[in-house]
Amino acid sequence: MANFHERMQQFFEHMRVHGEIGHKLRCEMRPDLPDHPVYGLDEWMVGWNSMFGSNRHRGTIEVGPWPDRGWSRKYFSTRGCCFGRWHHLTRQQKLQHIISGFLVLTVNEGIDTAAVHREFWKIADYRKLNVSFLGGRSYRIFQGEGR
């Protein structure tokens, strides 16, 4: 676990130094998803293949419906509503798990930040999140264009 925390600190320091928090997470990355469903807090799961695995489809990610009807079989790992524990969490804990999932997928699994963001955009509550980075400044991740 210490390794994870060290990597998180390195990630945030890199983002702070290079000014990429605003660049990587702001609205310009917001995909237009007119043909994609938007899932409620208890209606989604994410499947992915790590960049560090031997799978020829490494680095792929998809957010889809839960309960799963087989779409996630092409992924080595899953997270979200597919775990029984999820259904015993409070709303706030679920939102924290979404953010920690984003960070785990980008920092630990090596999946492209923009790809994770595009897929997580399918989760309605993800679009509304405010995240505090680096000691207190709160960033609204999904602001309107030009703000």
What is the DSSP track for 31-100?
PP-TTS--B-TTSEEEEE--TTSS-TTTT-EEEEESS-SSGGGG-SEEEETTSGGGGGS-HHHHHHHHHH
pTM over 0.75: no
Mean pLDDT of 82-106: 92
Mean pLDDT of 60-70: 94
User: What mean pLDDT value characterizes the chain?
Assistant: 76
Residue 88 has pLDDT above 80, yes or no: yes
Residue 138 has pLDDT above 90, yes or no: no
Mean pLDDT of 14-27: 48
Q: Which of 102, 112, 107, 76 is nearest to 3 (CA)?
A: 107
How many CA atoms within 13 Å lie on the side-chain side of 94?
Answer: 22
Lowest mean pLDDT across 14-23, 49-58, 79-88, 137-146 = 137-146
Residue ranges of the domains in the chain? 2-140
